[in-house]
């Protein structure tokens, strides 16, 4: 079962934006959204933006884009084609579900090594 984030995307976004010294207007301009929309996101009044916008936000804030995309409840745009490459990918994801962070790191490292060996 998926672990519920300890903090909402909107709250995390506002805290990090303020911490980094961005005004609402300036940050909205840099991301390419209206200040009104950004305010609604921070208040959790609307769904988080697209994964590409969340990625841009994470980059501006010096945060890990994949973590922020997950916090926003989105899927990075490069993942659906990867998932559809093979029927084994969904099986691997199901098997990995519920693993600890350490187990997932080991699995990732092993997959990287196998891919490099096959090159």
Q: CA 107, CA 79: separation in Å to the nearest integer?
A: 17
**pLDDT score recorded for residue 2:** 45
The whole-angstrom separation of Cα 112 and Cα 118 is 10
Q: Work out the pLDDT band at 118, boundaries 50, 70, 90.
A: confident
CB atoms within 10 A of CB 33: 18
Name the pTM for this structure.
Answer: 0.79
The angle formed by the CA atoms of residues 109, 110 and 115, to the nearest 5 degrees, is 100
Q: What is the pLDDT of residue 6?
A: 62
- Please report the pLDDT score of residue 49 as a whole number: 95
Looking at per-residue pLDDT, the higher value among 87 and 119 belongs to 87
Give residue-wise pLDDT tens across range 18-36.
Answer: 999 999 999 999 999 999 9
pLDDT of 55 strictly over 70: yes
For residue 54, which of 42, 40, 66 has the smallest C-alpha distance?
66
Question: Of 25, 22, 68, which is closest to residue 49 (Cα–Cα)?
Answer: 68
Q: Report the SS3 class of residue 81.
A: helix
Contact between 58 and 17 (Cβ < 8 Å):
no
The percent of residues in the chain predicted with pLDDT above 70, rounded, is: 94
Examine the pLDDT at 101 and tell me if it is beyond 70.
yes
Could you give the CA distance from residue 80 to residue 41 in angstroms, rounded to a whole number?
25
CATH 1.20.1250.20 assigned to 9-71? no
- What is the pLDDT at residue 5? 52
Q: Residue 9's CB: how many other CB atoms inside 10 A?
A: 23
> What does the alpha-carbon distance between residue 29 and residue 36 come to, in Å, rounded to a whole number?
11
pLDDT at 39 over 50: yes
């Amino acid at each position: 079962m998926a672990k519920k984030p300890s903090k909402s995307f909107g709250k995390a976004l506002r805290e990090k934006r303020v911490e980094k010294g961005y005004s609402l207007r300036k940050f909205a301009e840099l991301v390419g959204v209206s200040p009104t929309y950004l305010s609604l996101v921070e208040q959790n009044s609307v769904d988080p933006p697209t994964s590409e916008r969340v990625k841009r936000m994470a980059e501006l804030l010096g945060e890990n884009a994949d973590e922020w995309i997950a916090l926003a409840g989105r899927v990075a745009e490069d993942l659906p084609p990867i998932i559809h490459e093979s029927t084994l990918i969904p099986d691997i994801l199901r098997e990995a579900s519920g693993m600890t962070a350490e187990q997932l790191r080991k699995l990732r490292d092993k997959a990287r090594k196998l891919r490099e060996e096959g090159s």
